């Protein structure tokens, strides 16, 4: 499923929340929305936007992350990449071969988190779950199907 993420939609959300959208910030948002379903790293964004200050790229990515407009994915090797967020709480299914990532919604995980909350004295502030495996394309390439 390919979703369309026009930059103006993200810009409107940020403006509605009181954030100023400068030309460089808009260029970062435009580049990010062009990634569609692809993962990207902060370094890739900075390299692609080399006419914009590196700090501006990183600060804009942090803003988008903090506002839930992009999400962080931790890869099997510990590397970090980002992708457009489809809103709402979700987890990630990550291919260990090609890095393809899918959002997954697991209600059972929320039940486990609730049990952890109830059985400990911790005040839980968040959690992250990435599930690793081989996507159908990589799995069939490995088995020769």
Do 123 and 75 lie in one domain? The reply is: no
CATH number at residue 58: 1.10.10.10
d(CA 40, CA 145): 29
Do 95 and 78 lie in one domain? The reply is: no
d(CA 54, CA 50): 7
Number of domains in the chain: 2
CATH number at residue 142: 3.30.1490.190
Percent of the residues in the chain that have a pLDDT greater than 70, as a whole number: 92
Asked if residue 103 lies in contact with residue 91, where contact means CB atoms within 8 angstroms, the answer is: yes
Do 68 and 37 lie in one domain? The reply is: yes
pLDDT tens for 79-90 read 999 998 876 678
What average pLDDT does range 40-69 have in this prediction? 94
State residue 144's pLDDT score.
64
Q: Estimate to the nearest angstrom the gap between the alpha carbon of 77 and the chain centroid.
A: 17
Do 82 and 135 lie in one domain? The reply is: no
Asked if residue 135 lies in contact with residue 94, where contact means CB atoms within 8 angstroms, the answer is: no
Rg, Å, the chain Cα set: 17
What average pLDDT does range 9-21 have in this prediction? 88
d(CA 85, CA 65): 9
Do 64 and 96 lie in one domain? The reply is: no
Do 100 and 131 lie in one domain? The reply is: yes
DSSP string, the chain: ------HHHHHHHHHHTT----HHHHHHHHHHHTTTT--B-HHHHHHHTTTS-HHHHHHHHHHHHHTTSEEEEE-TTS-EEEEE--SSS-EEEEETTT--EEEE--HHHHHHHHHHHHHSS--------EEEE--HHHHHHHHT-
Q: Which domain holds residue 12?
A: 1-86
pLDDT tens for 56-71 read 999 999 999 988 889 9
Greater model confidence, 55 or 6: 55
Do 14 and 28 lie in one domain? The reply is: yes
């Amino acid at each position: 499923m390919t979703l369309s993420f026009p930059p103006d939609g993200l810009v409107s959300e940020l403006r509605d929340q009181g954030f100023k959208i400068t030309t460089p910030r808009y260029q970062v948002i435009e580049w990010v929305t062009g990634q569609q379903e692809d993962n990207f790293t902060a370094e890739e964004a900075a390299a692609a936007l080399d006419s914009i200050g590196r700090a501006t790229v990183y600060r804009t990515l942090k803003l988008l992350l903090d506002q839930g407009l992009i999400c962080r994915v931790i890869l099997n090797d510990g590397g970090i990449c980002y992708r457009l967020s489809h809103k709402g709480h979700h987890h990630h299914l990550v291919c260990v071969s090609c890095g393809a990532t899918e959002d997954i919604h697991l209600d059972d995980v929320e039940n486990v988190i609730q049990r952890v909350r109830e059985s400990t004295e911790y005040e839980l502030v968040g959690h992250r779950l990435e599930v690793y495996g081989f996507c159908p394309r990589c799995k069939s390439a490995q088995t020769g199907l």
